[in-house]
Amino acid sequence: MPNPRKIREHKHLQIFGALLHSPNLWHLNRRSVPGAFAVGLFVAFVPVPFQMVLAAAAAIAFSVNLPISVALVWISNPVTMPPLFFSAYLLGAEILGTEPTEMHFELSWEWLTTGLSAIWQPFLLGCFLAGSILAIIGYCAIRLLWRWHIVQHLKQRRLRIPRPRRLKHGQPH
């Protein structure tokens, strides 16, 4: 886990001020970790800059583990973003029943105002659906893994602790 002090001092997270001092944001428990996975995976598909700030705000709002929420948005990084967002666009186009358009992306204001205007509906729908589906899958998977881990721990503990012998009726103590 990252050092809470370093995260509190991060320049982009300073806007949250004293809210970052809540101990619930730093605990690892059966509620905060799955919730953090849901937040981080959903925000990873929100196509905006500064996803870390958005994930931190959601972690504070839902009182889930902040470092995990913020770290998971890096699933959509400069290398993975094109295939993730293109897949989201294809998902949205499929749901809306529209034919995917062939496009040539270029990082310019002109493309953002003209090229994005032709695909924004399937793109945003696909991002919302992909983020929601992955958030639900991540939440459920971590809950199941947490439960499995606890069951395994209890089994190991039972094997380590000797059980007292049961005395038959009439035997001396």
In a domain, 141, yes or no: yes
In a domain, 173, yes or no: no
Average pLDDT over residues 59-63: 93
In a domain, 165, yes or no: no
Q: What is the pLDDT of residues 74-93, one digit of tens each?
A: 999 989 998 999 999 999 99
Structural domain boundaries, residue 106:
4-160
Q: How many domains does the chain have?
A: 1
In a domain, 167, yes or no: no
> CA-CA distance, 166 to 156, in Å (whole number)?
22
Place of tokens 């897949």: 87
Low-confidence winner among 1-10, 46-55, 100-109, 154-163 (lowest mean pLDDT):
1-10
Q: What is the CA radius of gyration of the chain?
A: 23
Nearest to 65 by CA among 125, 1, 122, 9: 1
Q: What is the pLDDT of residues 102-156, one digit of tens each?
A: 777 666 777 767 777 778 899 999 999 999 999 999 999 999 999 999 999 998 8
What is the model's pLDDT at position 110? 76
Contact 122, 93 (CB under 8 A): yes
In a domain, 172, yes or no: no
In a domain, 169, yes or no: no
In a domain, 147, yes or no: yes
Reported as a pLDDT band with limits 50, 70 and 90, residue 34 is very high
Contact 59, 39 (CB under 8 A): yes
Helices 109-160 and 32-44 cross at an angle (nearest 10°) of: 160
Coil, strand or helix: which one is 165? Answer: coil
What is the model's pLDDT at position 170? 64
> CA-CA distance, 75 to 29, in Å (whole number)?
22
Contact 32, 139 (CB under 8 A): no
pLDDT top residue among 43 and 24:
43
pTM: 0.78
